[in-house]
C-alpha cells in the first residue's frame, strides 16, 4: 500500500523523528496473530489519514533495537510520534475508533 510506510533502523530518524507530520508506528511481527488482526485497521488508517499523518509499520524481528528504545515489550504496539517525540502509546489489538480518537486528540 503506497501510503503505508515500512520503517527500520536505517530510515527511522528521517521518516519518524524528523517527519514534518505526526507518525503512527505499528510495531509488529509476521508471527503475531493479534498483529495480523490489526493490520487491516492500520492500512485503513493510512488511507483515511493520508496527508495528515504518516502511518508506518516497524517489524520488531528486523528492528529490535528500535522497539527496545521505545519500551515495546509486547506487540502489536501503536506509538504516535509528533515532532520526534512520543505523544501516545496503545498496546494490543485496538478497535479502530479508539485509535482514531487518539489521533484526533493529538492532531485535531
Half-sphere exposure of residue 3: CA atoms within 13 angstroms, side-chain side? 16
Active site residues: 32, 35
Q: 76 preceded by cis ω (within 30°)? A: yes
Which class for 20: exposed (0-12), middle (13-18), buried (19 or more C-beta within 10 A)? exposed
Name the residue among 7, 19, 9 with its Cα closest to residue 81: 19
Amino acid at each position: 500500500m503506497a501510503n503505508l510506510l515500512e520503517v527500520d533502523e536505517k530510515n527511522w530518524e528521517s521518516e519518524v523523528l524528523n517527519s514534518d507530520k505526526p507518525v503512527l508506528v505499528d510495531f509488529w511481527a509476521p508471527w503475531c496473530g493479534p498483529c495480523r488482526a490489526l493490520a487491516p485497521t492500520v492500512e485503513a488508517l493510512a488511507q483515511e489519514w493520508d496527508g495528515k499523518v504518516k502511518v508506518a509499520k516497524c517489524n520488531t524481528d528486523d528492528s529490535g533495537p528500535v522497539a527496545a528504545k521505545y519500551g515495546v515489550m509486547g506487540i502489536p504496539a501503536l506509538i504516535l510520534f509528533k515532532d520526534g517525540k512520543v505523544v501516545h502509546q496503545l498496546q494490543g489489538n485496538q478497535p479502530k475508533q479508539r485509535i482514531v480518537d487518539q489521533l484526533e486528540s493529538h492532531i485535531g
